[in-house]
């Protein structure tokens, strides 16, 4: 029985880390797309933020922790407003996970919208 508990904890840890990486990828891809659509280079974004081009590259590459404040600053520099949508994870809902996002929207969350 202890081996089963250990494997379950490993699966939960893997799922948690996978969700983190998926979110980082989704946010950085959305920001990169927003830059392309706005015709703004990384160098120009760095200038608008008062940061180095290296900082912007690290953030957009997922190599630097992206805070909500930095996300908000990047969005503002692109005349965007960040938004967040959470949806119920079917697997967690079925297994009775304590996390329940309620009856929120489904699909992929939108990250930013034009102001």
Please indicate, yes or no, if residue 11 is contained in any of the structural domains.
no
CB 74 within 8 A of CB 44: no
pLDDT 10s digits, 17-48: 999 999 999 999 999 999 999 999 999 999 99
Dihedral sign, CA of 101, 105, 110, 112?
Answer: negative
Please indicate, yes or no, if residue 52 is contained in any of the structural domains.
yes
Cα angle: 44, vertex 33, 71; to 5 degrees: 65
CATH number at residue 32: 1.10.260.40
Would you say residue 50 has pLDDT above 80?
yes
What integer pLDDT is reported at residue 15 of this predicted model?
92
Domain coverage including residue 43? 25-114
Structure tokens, 91: 């697997």
Please indicate, yes or no, if residue 79 is contained in any of the structural domains.
yes
Please indicate, yes or no, if residue 104 is contained in any of the structural domains.
yes
Is the entire prediction scored with pTM above 0.75? no
Please indicate, yes or no, if residue 4 is contained in any of the structural domains.
no
Would you say residue 101 has pLDDT above 50?
no
Q: How many domains does the chain have?
A: 1
Work out the pLDDT band at 97, boundaries 50, 70, 90: very low
CA dist., res. 43 & res. 56, Å (int)? 8
């Amino acid at each position: 029985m202890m081996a089963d508990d250990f494997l379950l904890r490993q699966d939960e840890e893997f799922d948690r880390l996978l969700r983190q990486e998926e979110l980082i990828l989704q946010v950085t891809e959305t920001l990169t797309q927003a830059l392309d659509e706005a015709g703004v280079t990384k160098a120009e974004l760095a200038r608008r933020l008062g940061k180095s081009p290296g900082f912007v590259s690290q953030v957009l590459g997922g190599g630097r922790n992206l805070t909500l404040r930095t996300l908000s600053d990047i969005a503002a520099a692109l005349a965007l407003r960040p938004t967040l949508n959470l949806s119920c994870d079917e697997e967690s809902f079925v297994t009775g996970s304590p996390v329940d996002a309620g009856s929120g929207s489904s699909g992929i969350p939108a990250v930013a919208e034009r102001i």
